[in-house]
Amino acid sequence: MRLVTYEIEHKSGLGVISRDGSWVYPLASLDMDYKSMQELIETISDSEKQLLEYASGQDPYKVRGAAPIGEVSLLAPIPHPRQDVICLGINYMAHVEESARFKKEAFDGERPYAIYFSKRVNRATDPGAGIPSHRDIVTDLDYEAELAVIIGREASHVREEEVKDYIFGYTIINDVSARTLQTRHKQWYFGKGLDGFLPMGPCIATVDELSYPPKVQVQSRVNGELRQDSNTELLIFDISHIVSELSQGMTLQPGTIIATGTPAGVGMGFDPPKFLVPGDVVECTIEGIGTIANKVTD
């Protein structure tokens, strides 16, 4: 099933998308009074999950408060993450190569260890909201379509074969990046953590909505031009490895968001680079989850 945070008639709430993708059914109509997606992730029961799965297949005209999906405003599924997002750097081999070319660095073809970094987020950007260009300090704004994993229960010292049991679901993020800031400071926290640099959504696809491990297409388009087009089966370090490795010394709390890395085709990978400018529209699409589309603003 696919869960959303949405707004209608100036009121926000949680919902489940109908199986045909055309309606949103409010969880409140099913007597689920969760105040936020974070609270739901932390406390939802297996029986409630089963009820939501059942409800998503019902006739919308029999569900109190059901709304056509085109009449609601989808918000970031977790508008205020409880902590910074954990990100994987250069986790597709083709992106490793294009990154090395941009930085004029040698690459020996080896990637023995995962690269982790933290992405600052005060509020996640809604799936249709604007991406601020920060033109006063940013000259090379870039996009990165990524599959993000959301942890469903406290994870500590988890074995790789157990990881699926700790995952709540998946969403799309655009790991927006300011390349000069990213490289100038010799670490990525500032260049990837500016306000508005985490578009997320349009929903959370629960873990059983996709096969495990997910083998789904990841794409991005800028003004309709296909830029990124790859598949998560090409991840250098897969989800089981990532979650297991992190959990060996770091307790992952419910609601933790882990972005798994972006494939080749980002703006810096072109010659000359194709960085974003105000007015550009970036679409990030992941098979089985949906699409987010964000316009760069002044």
What residue type is 18 in one-letter code?
Answer: S
85-296 belongs to CATH 3.90.850.10? yes
pLDDT score at 21 = 97
Contact 151, 256 (CB under 8 A): yes
Contact 64, 208 (CB under 8 A): no
Give tens-digit pLDDT for 136-181: 999 999 999 999 999 999 999 999 999 999 999 999 999 999 999 9
pLDDT score at 100 = 65
Angle at 32 between CA 30 and CA 37, to 5 degrees: 125
pLDDT score at 153 = 98
Confidence check: pLDDT of 35 > 90: yes
Write the Ramachandran bin of 281: left for phi over 0, alpha for psi from -120 to 50, otherwise beta.
beta
Confidence check: pLDDT of 110 > 80: no
Among 62-71, 95-104, 153-162, the minimum mean pLDDT is found in 95-104
Going by pLDDT thresholds of 50, 70 and 90, the confidence category of residue 185 is confident
pLDDT score at 102 = 67
pLDDT score at 104 = 64
Range 61-86 average pLDDT: 97
Closest CA to 15 of 5, 199, 103, 213: 5
Helix (H, G, I), strand (E, B) or coil at 49: helix
As a whole-number percent, the residues of the chain with pLDDT over 70 amount to 97
Quote the mean pLDDT of the chain: 95
Question: E strands within 160-268?
Answer: 167-174, 177-178, 200-206, 217-222, 225-231, 257-259
Helix (H, G, I), strand (E, B) or coil at 293: strand
| Residue ranges covered by each domain of the chain | 2-74, 85-296
Question: First and final CA of the chain: distance in angstroms?
Answer: 36
CB atoms within 10 A of CB 226: 12
pLDDT score at 166 = 98
Closest CA to 167 of 292, 82, 252, 291: 252
Range 110-135 average pLDDT: 95
pLDDT score at 293 = 98
